[in-house]
Chains A and B, each alone.
Chain A
Amino acid sequence: MSTAKTFRVLPGFGPTLGYTLAYLSLLVLIPLAAVFLKTAELTFAEFWNVVTAPRVVASYKLSFGMSLLAAAINAVFGLMLAWALVRYSFPGKKLIDALVDLPFALPTAVAGIALTALYAKNGWIGQFLEPLGIQVAFKPLGVLVALVFIGLPFVVRTVQPILEDLDTELEEAATSLGAQRWQAFRHVILPIVFPALLTGFALAFARAVGEYGSVIFIAGNIPMVSEITPLMIITKLEQYDYTGATAIATVMLILSFTLLLLINGLQAWTAKRTGRDR
C-alpha cells in the first residue's frame, strides 16, 4: 500500500501565505516590536517616572475619560440613529445613511479645524453656548466633541445590520403574548442588539483613545488641562526625548492590544448570539 501524495486542490497557498507573513512582519510587527525594545532600554524606575509624570497622568485622565464618555454618548445616540435609519422612512434617508460614514472618510485634520470653527466663541454653535457660560473649544469639552464625531459611525455601523436582520415576527410574538412596546424593546430587541452595541462602544472607545488629528485643533493643548496622550508622545518627540515618547507609546499599545482582544471576543460573542459570521 503506497501512501498517497497529498496536495492542495487550489493553488497558491504557500506563496500567498508567505507573502502575507513577510509583508506583515516587515511593515507592522517588527516596527511595533521596536517600541517595546526601545522601552526595555529604560530601567523600570525610569519607565515608571516617565509614564506617571503628573502631566502625563493628566493626559491619561483626559484621553480615557473623554473617550469613555464619547463612546457612551455614541452608544445612546448611535443606537437611535441606527434605529431611525432602519425602522422609519423619512425624506433624505439615503443621503443621511451615506453621510454617517463621513468621519471614516473625512481627513481628521479637516474635521479638527471644522469643529474648531463651529465651537469657537464666535462660531456657529459657540456663539449660542458662550452666553450660557459653556465653553467648548480649547477646553476638555472640545476634546469630547471631537471624539463623539469620530466615534459615531462605529456604533451605527455595528448595530444597523443587526437591527436590519431582526425578524418582525419576534416583536409580533412578544406583542401577542401581551408585551407593551417598551417591554418588547427592553426584553426582546435590546438583548439581541446588545452585543453589537457593546462592540460598537468598544470600537469607538479604541479609536478615540488613539485619535490625534481631529482633537488637537479644538483641544487648545493646555498642559494639565486639555492635552491628550497622543499629543504627549509628539511633545516628547519634538524635544528629541525618544525613550520618553516610546515609554508612553508602550502604555498606549498595551491598552490597545487589550482592547483589540476584548473587541475580538465581543465580535465572536455577537456572531454566536446572532448566528452571523463576521
Chain B
Amino acid sequence: MSIQVRNIHKRFGSFIALDDVSLDFPTGELVALLGPSGCGKTTLLRVIAGLESADAGQVLLDGDDASGTHVRDRQVGFVFQHYALFRHMSVFDNVAFGLRMKPRGQRPTEKQIAGKVHALLDLVQLDWLADRFPAQLSGGQRQRIALARALAVEPRVLLLDEPFGALDAKVRKELRRWLRKLHDELHVTSIFVTHDQEEALEVADRVVLMNQGAVEQIGTPEEVYRRPATPFVYGFLGAVNLFHGRVDGEGLRVGDARLPQQARGFGEGAEVLAFARPHELDIVPDAGAGEGIAARVSRVLAFGITARVELDGLNGAQGQHFEVEITRERVDRLGLAEGQAVRLLPSHLSLFESRQAATTAGAAR
C-alpha cells in the first residue's frame, strides 16, 4: 500500500514538530526516516499511524484520506521503541492479541489463531519462546516478538519507531540484516525511524532526511550519501571536512590557500561553504607555496588497509581540524609523521552558498 503525506503541520505548544511536510512512500518499499533527535521523525511516524493527529494536512493511505480514520481502523502495524509488549501476557498471547480483539464475526477460531501465531513465531525464529513472558526475553528477542505481534493483524503498512534504538551494538547489526531479509520476503510497505545514519543507509531502500520539522532530502542511500542536497545532510551523513571559502576567479580561496576547484554558479567573491569527505582529500608534501590548504599532522591511525590521518589547520585555517582517509601505502610513501606540515588537496568539493548554509550547517554538528 502506498502512503502519501500532504502538508502536515504539527506543533506541541510553541515547539514546531512538523512544518509543512509532504512525502510519498511507494508500495513495497522500506523507507528510513533519518534525523537528529527532535527533528520530528517520530512525530511524523505517529501521525501516519494515527497515534497523533496533525494540526493540518492529510495522510493518504492508498490514495484515500485517512485523517479521520481512527488508528484502530487504519490497519497499520506499529512497533514501539520500547516494544510495549504486554508484560502480563506470554509471547503467544502477545502475538495473538490483535486477532483475539477482532469483532466476533471476523475473529478466527482459537485453532486458526494458534496456527497463525506459530507461523509468525517461526518467521521471527522464536517459536520456542511461545510460553515465555516478555520479562524473560532479551532485548533482541522482544524486538522480534513486537514485530511478530504487529504482523499478526496483516497490516497494510509497517511502522517502526527506532526499532533498534534500545539494543546493544552487536544485536543491532544482526537485527538490521534480519529486518532487511524479512522485508524482502514480505514486501509490506514499511517506514522506520532512526537517528543512526549507518542503520538507515544499510537497511533502507530510500532515506528521508529530516531536520527541524522539515524534509531536507529524499533519495536512495547512495544518492543521499554521494550527493547531499544541503549542508545539513552533508554534516549528518558520515564524516566530513568543512572549509569556509570565497570564489576567486577560476578557483576558490580558503584563508591564505588556493584550491583549484571551479565554483560554477556562484558570483565572483561569493562566500561559500565547501564540503569534502575524508576520502576526497589527498595529502601532498608542503612545497612552501602553491595549491592546497596548509595543515599539520596531529595523529596517524593506520589499522586496516586505509589509514585515518587527523590534521590541524595552519595559515588562515588555524583552530580547524581535518580528517583524511588515504591508503596505508600512501602514508608510508609520504612518510607521514606527527608534527609534519603538509597540504590538503580535495579531489572533489561540494559547494553551498554561505549565508543560507551557515545556520543549518551549525545545527547539523
A7 to B6, CA, bound (A): 19
- Interfacial chain A residues near B137, Cβ < 8 Å: none
| Chain B 70-113 per-residue mask, 1 if CB under 8 angstroms from chain A, else 0 | 11000000000000000000000000000000000000000000
Whether A7 lies near B7 (C-beta < 8 A) is no
Residues B53 and A4 in contact, CB atoms below 8 Å apart:
yes
Min Cβ gap B351→A in Å is: 35
Chain B residues in 8 Å Cβ range of A1: 6-7, 56-58
Q: Could you tell me the distance in whole angstroms from the C-beta of A241 to the nearest C-beta in chain B? A: 53
Query: What 10 A-B pairs come out closest when comparing CB atoms?
Result: A4-B67, A5-B68, A6-B53, A4-B54, A1-B7, A9-B51, A3-B56, A9-B71, A4-B53, A5-B67
| Across-interface contacts of B59 in A (CB, < 8 A) | 4
In this complex, which of A4, A7, A9 has the most chain B Cβ atoms within 10 angstroms of its Cβ?
A4
Answer yes or no: A2 CB below 8 A from chain B CBs.
yes
Q: Is B222 an interface residue (CB 8 A)?
A: no
Least distance between B241 CB and chain A CB atoms (Å)? 42
Interface membership of chain B positions 27-63, coded 1 if the CB is closer than 8 angstroms to chain A and 0 otherwise: 0000000000000000000000011111111110000
Q: How far is the CA of A1 from the CA of B20 in the complex (A)?
A: 11
Chain A hits for B65, CB < 8 A:
2
Q: Which residues of A contact B54 (CB under 8 A)?
A: 4
Where the two chains meet, the residues of B that have a C-beta atom closer than 8 Å to any C-beta of A are 6-7, 50-59, 65, 67-68, 70-71
Nearest-neighbour CB distance to chain A for B63, whole angstroms, equals: 15
Please count the residue pairs between chain A and chain B whose beta carbons lie under 8 angstroms apart in the complex: 31
Given contacts A3-B56, A4-B54, A7-B53, 19 further A-B contacts (CB under 8 A): A1-B6, A1-B7, A1-B56, A1-B58, A2-B56, A2-B65, A4-B53, A4-B55, A4-B56, A4-B57, A4-B58, A4-B59, A4-B67, A4-B68, A5-B53, A5-B67, A6-B53, A9-B52, A9-B71
Write out the residue numbers on chain A whose beta carbons fall within 8 Å of the beta carbon of B6.
Answer: 1
Chain A residues with CB below 8 A from B68, complex form: 4-5, 7
B54 and chain A: residue at smallest CB distance: A4
Q: How far is the CA of A3 from the CA of B65 in the complex (A)?
A: 11
Say yes or no: B71 contacts A2, CB within 8 Å: no
Q: How far is the CB of B156 from chain A (nearest CB, A)?
A: 18
Closest residue of chain A to B51 (Cβ to Cβ) is: A9
**A7 touches which of B55, B56, B57, B70 (Cβ 8 Å):** B70
Nearest residue, chain A, Cβ from B49: A9
Q: List 29 A-B contacts (CB under 8 A).
A: A1-B6, A1-B7, A1-B56, A1-B57, A1-B58, A2-B56, A2-B65, A2-B67, A3-B55, A3-B56, A4-B53, A4-B54, A4-B55, A4-B56, A4-B58, A4-B59, A4-B67, A4-B68, A5-B53, A5-B67, A5-B68, A6-B53, A7-B53, A7-B68, A7-B70, A9-B50, A9-B51, A9-B52, A9-B71
Residues of chain A lying within 8 A (CB to CB) of residue B71: 9
Q: Please measure, in the bound complex, the distance between the C-alpha atom of A7 and the C-alpha atom of B74, giving whole angstroms.
A: 14
B53 touches A2 (CB 8 A): no
B196 CB to closest chain A CB (Å) equals 27
A6 nearest CB neighbor, chain B only: B53
Q: What does the 1/0 interface line of A1-32 toward B look like (CB < 8 Å)?
A: 11111110100000000000000000000000
| A99 smallest CB distance to B (angstroms) | 31
Contact B50 A2 (CB under 8 A): no
Expressed in whole angstroms, the Cα–Cα distance for A179 and B214 within the complex equals 55
Taken together as a complex, chains A and B put the C-alpha atoms of A5 and B65 apart, in Å, by 11
For chain A residues 110-133, which have a beta carbon within 8 Å of chain B? Answer: none
B89 to chain A, nearest CB (A): 19
Interface centre among B6, B50, B52, B67, by most chain A C-beta atoms within 10 angstroms, is: B67
With both chains docked as a complex, state the minimum distance between the C-beta of A166 and any C-beta of chain B, in angstroms.
26
Minimum distance in angstroms from A12 CB to a CB of chain B: 13
Task: Give bound CA distance, A3 to B67, whole Å.
Answer: 9
Q: Which residues of A contact B58 (CB under 8 A)?
A: 1-2, 4
- In the bound complex, residues from chain A placing their C-beta under 8 Å from that of B53 are 4-7
Q: How far is the CA of A1 from the CA of B65 in the complex (A)?
A: 12
